[in-house]
Structure 1
Amino acid sequence: MKIKFAETASGDTLAVPAYSRTTLSDPATALDEKTGGAISRAIKASRFKGEAGDVVEIVSPNGVDAARIVVFGLGESKDADGNVFEKAGASVVKHLLNTGADTVSFHLDGVTDTESAARTALGATMAAYRFDAYRTKLKADKKPSLKTAEFVVSDEKAAKKSWKSWEAVADGVKTARDLVMEPANILYPTAYTKRVKEKLEKLGVEIEVLGEKEMEKLGMGALLGVGQGSVRESQLVIMRWNGGKDGEKPLAFVGKGVCFDTGGISLKPGLGMEEMKGDMGGSAAVVGLMHALAGRKANVNAIGVIGLVENMPDGNAQRPGDIVTSLSGQTIEILNTDAEGRLVLADALWYTQERFDPRFIIDLATLTGAILITLGHEHAGVFSNDDELVDNLTRAGKASDETVWRLPIGAEYDRQIDSTVADMKNLGEGRNAGSIAAAVFLQRFVNEKPWVHIDIAGTGMQTGSKDPRKPSFGTGYGVRLLDRLVRDYYEG
């Protein structure tokens, strides 16, 4: 979708705000008068309350040239923050996407804060997202008609400048979503690596790739064990954005990239297995974040590391009962080959903290079904050894509307992954505290480095969300959260 900023409206559709208790904004009041009370009548005949996300439409109104007027809610005016403006922009676009409207012109009630206009545009962009790459027979009337979202502002130049930064975030979210949406026969590890290079190198991100020979030489037995049943070669991709001061320690982000997860020998049930093309959502978030940071020329040094594998059943596949030696030298007893993401992350985390000595490490992974039982789709679960880092992340989650909820870790949980035949096992005690068992496993591979693990199994893949910013399935969760963390707390 094309985003425009202008001082006068040119769209065939006008969008104007209202507030709680159906209080009309000045632009809405002016249009109501021009149309002989059409807006007031439409509101009275509907269930529109003016709350954030509410929308009511008036088609072919008298007294104006526009084909449509859309009134959108902002809730209480004092509470209208960036997230409210995002939802408003998304609600309008989602409503209009297939109606025949071509261009919608937003009036934001005299808002002079260009940031609010930019956040509305961000919401509009996210709502317009579709993944139609493989739909070859889509009829014209099923394709989106809405092409442009225009924002009427008093300072066009300032609005464009503000949007430039948020546009990079929108591009990062789209990149992450596209990666999760791709089928596994298209996006396998080496193809994924090629896609990362194509997307990021032109933005100035340095890319380094380790293949299986390099990883075997280093001793990455945990990661390589997961991928040994696949005909596709495993990869470790390192992305570097050098936007900060020379010599300044980087921030590090590590993502689980299981391009398809059958469960391996511990085979998953067939029902719903097609969704396991999205088991690389953590890696997609890291790629999307690096895209956003580079796109907006973030004043920070950042490292992104993603471990890319396929977990397949095969005569050469890893077996329950196997013992592997990780890059750290620690040995791992494999009790279940479907607890594979933590094995990929174990080597990726150790490699990252040993080679780059970052200020902190944050890993993201669609790691456990248990986190869905605990938190549903509303929050990602976070586990950390550093209070300040997780507090900053929590505030960034509220600011970006990608919320997190901290869960405990500690010695009483760590003991549950001790093995009688190796240094540790890759499962805890039965079904209890499954997400925590995975987190304490990962903690054994970060030493004392400040670290947060984000389990996005409930937020990275989602269907049926009522949030108009989210598509069905791959949400791109994590890009906005981590970009906000960086811009609010760690940029120079």
Structure 2
Amino acid sequence: MAVQISYKNKISKKNTYNLVLFVNETFNISSLKKHISTKEYALISDLVKTKDIKKKIVAFDISSKKKIILVSLKNKITISEVENLGAVFYDKFKNDKINHFVINSDSSINQQRNLVGNFVHGLKLKSYTFEKYKTKKNNKNISIIIFGKNQPSVKEQLKFKAIEDGTFYTRDLVSEPGNILHPDEYAKRLISLKKYGLKVSVYDDKKLKKLGMNTLLGVGQGSIRGSYLVTMEWNGLDKTSKPLAFVGKGVCFDTGGISLKPAKFMEDMTYDMAGSAVVVGLMKSLALRKAKINAVGVVGLVENMPGGNAQRPGDIVKSYSGKTVEILNTDAEGRLVLADALTYTEEKFKPKLIVDLATLTGAIIVSLGSEYAGLFSNDDNLSKQLINAGEKVEEKVWRMPLNKNFDKLIDSKNADMQNINYVGGAGSTTAAQFLQRFILNKTPWAHLDIAGMAFSKYGGALNSGGATGYGVRLLNKLIEDNYE
């Protein structure tokens, strides 16, 4: 299903499209007299008394060809609540026979900036479906015309579309099956992003070996597919401005390796590359909206498979940082990919900050469910910025502890550290504590464990189930509010 948005200055009152108007939460329609005919106003005045006004959206049949739809707004309504209303609107009419709507942007007495833009943004985000591999597709198109003086500016329209495109690209990547989006294919797709103005560099097995990225390479050595580190650079400012860096875990399929996972739900491990997909979607958004910042996205792409050449429990490898790691469990692989990627990002790009994203631990789902991503950070200011951005777009984060006392749980007798805590407990924290050891120059850093947020069996406010795209809008908001 596709939703097409267009903008016009004026439209005839005689049109037979379904008209969408905004009213206050008590459904007082007196402000609508100038927007509809006298006959329509009289009819709605009668009918509204019979409707359940506890509902946010109420539709009235004016004729066999036309509806007038009222959307109620609270006096004090957040951007997120407006977006959610747009999503409710989509759900209400997605299976309806009607597919043409006209939104009067001047009908709202609520003067919130970009109200209509945010309403349609929520509607668009909710409309996403992944039907690439279905032989019978839903070919319905919904057409929405927005008219009036209170529609978004051209610049704001482009920004909304860039964020939607980036979020949808992330969802597309996460939704792909492992036999299609393996590391070789993933790396090829990232090269295609050059057309948006991104500088893309791909480091294959040979280059990674030469660089000494042995923790990343170790994860992928049991697969017939290659392993890669891919960097994507966006320069919206002069080159003297330090970039913001975003690093993502891209385990295209995670069997657990020699420490094999149980068969039940292993099919979900196609989304173990969601952290990398968020970084890719974000970088695409920044390029599309010509963001006035310098940013770099770095993703480690591997496939964790059992095989004759697979990494074994008990192996010791030397990371890019020079620190050695004892592999006690090959299913704690994401932190090994990120370890090399983090040190390389910090050393090569010398960024203002680093945010990494990963579906890293099941323990974070036990802690926070599917309401919050786990936030671990060495910097209070960056943490506050992420928390505030998350609240605004309803992609929430909850700060979890890091403390040097956790270090003893990952210290190894045979190497500098081990990749899991065998004592038990604090699974997400010890994973983050492990990652922190690879930030060598005290760069402000935050780790987002998105294991509970990247994929939803039942759907959420702005998605209909499956890949959520969580993180793209969060990081866009972080950048917009604090660094542009």
Q: What SS class does the counterpart of residue 241 from structure 1 fall into?
A: strand
Is contact 1:42-1:56 (8 Å) kept? no
Which position in structure 1 is the counterpart of 2:88? 91
Out of 360, 365, 384, the residue aligned to residue 353 of structure 2 is 360
Structure 1 unaligned segments of length 5 or more: list them. none
The answer to whether the aligner puts 1:463 opposite 2:460 as a matched pair is no
Deviation at 1:195, TM superposition (A): 1.3
Q: 2:18 aligns with which of 13, 17, 30?
A: 13
- Given that 1:18 and 1:28 are in contact with CA atoms closer than 8 Å, whether structure 2 keeps it comes out as no
Q: TM-score, normalised by structure 2?
A: 0.93
CA shift, 1:56, in A, is 3.5
5 Å-filtered alignment, 1:336-351, equals 336-351=329-344
Distance 1:2 1:315, change over 3 A: same
Q: Match of 1:55?
A: 57
CA distance in 1, matches of 2:349, 2:273: 23
Contact 1:363 1:454 in 2 (8 A): yes
SS of equivalent to 2:114: helix
Distance, in Å, in 2 between the alignment partners of 1:259 and 1:319 is 20
- The answer (yes or no) to whether the contact 1:220–1:326 under 8 Å persists in 2 is yes
**Alignment-mate amino acid for residue 33 of structure 1:** Y
CA distance in 2, matches of 1:282, 1:435: 15
Letter in 1 for 2:237: G
In the alignment, the residues of structure 1 paired with residue 176 and residue 280 of structure 2 have an alpha-carbon distance, to the nearest angstrom, of 14
1:305 & 1:25 partners in 2: Cα distance? 54
1:4 matched residue in structure 2:
6
How far did 1:42 drift?
5.4
Give, as a single letter, the amino acid of the residue that structure 2 aligns with 1:135.
K
For residue 35 of structure 1, give the secondary structure of its aligned residue in structure 2: helix
Match of 1:77 among 75, 96, 106: 75
Q: In terms of mean alpha carbon deviation, does 115-124 or 407-416 score higher?
A: 115-124
Question: Which aligned pairs between 1:137-286 and structure 2 lie closer than 5 A?
Answer: 137-138=136-137, 143=138, 145-154=140-149, 159-198=153-192, 200-286=193-279
How many Å separate the matches in 2 of 1:245 and 1:347?
A: 28
Whether the 8 Å contact between 2:116 and 2:150 is mirrored in structure 1 is no
Partner of 2:475: 482
* Distance apart, 1:393 and its partner CA: 1.0
Asked whether the equivalents of residues 409 and 423 of structure 2 are also in contact (C-alpha less than 8 Å), the reply is no
Deviations 1:342-374 (A, max 9, x none): 000000001100111100100000111111111
Is the 2:363–2:427 Cα contact (8 Å) retained in structure 1?
A: yes
Task: Measure how far apart 1:400 and its partner are.
Answer: 1.6
CA contact (8 A) 1:17 1:28 kept: no
Decide whether aligned partners of structure 1 residues 42 and 228 sit closer, same or farther in structure 2, where only a CA change above 3 A counts: farther
Give the Å deviation of 1:415.
1.8
Give the counterpart letter for 1:205 in structure 2.
Answer: L
Q: Which residue identity lines up with residue 126 of structure 2 in the other structure? A: A
- 1:433: how far off? 1.0
**Residue-by-residue CA offset, 1:304-339 (whole Å, 9 max, x unaligned):** 000000011111111111111111111111111111
Structure 2: distance between partners of 1:284 and 1:25:
48
Distance 1:299 1:65, change over 3 A: farther
Task: In structure 2, give the amino acid aligned to 1:333.
Answer: E
Once the two structures are superposed, what CA deviation does each residue of 1:142-196 show, in whole Å capped at 9, x if it has no partner?
Answer: x25342222233155x533321111111111011010001111111112111112
How far did 1:85 drift? 1.7
Inter-partner Cα distance in structure 2 for 1:12 and 1:314: 60
* Residues 1:21 and 1:189: Cα distance change in structure 2 (over 3 Å): same
Q: AA paired with 2:54?
A: K
The CA RMSD measured in Å over matched residues stands at 2.1
Counting matched residue pairs gives 473
Matched residue, 2:122: 123
Q: Is the 8 A contact 1:153 1:159 kept in 2?
A: no
Once the two structures are TM-superposed, the CA of residue 17 in structure 1 deviates from its matched residue by 3.3
Percent of counterpart pairs with the same letter? 45
Compute the displacement of 1:26 (Å): 3.2
Distance in 1 between residues matched to 2:343 and 2:269, nearest whole Å:
26
TM-score by structure 1 length? 0.91
Letter in 2 for 1:197: I
Consecutive unaligned residues of structure 2, counting only runs of 5 or more, are none
Residues of 2 paired with 1:128 and 1:145: CA distance?
A: 11
User: What pairs with 1:253-332 in structure 2 (closer than 5 Å)?
Assistant: 253-332=246-325
1:29 Cα offset (Å): 11
CA distance in 2, matches of 1:265, 1:29: 70
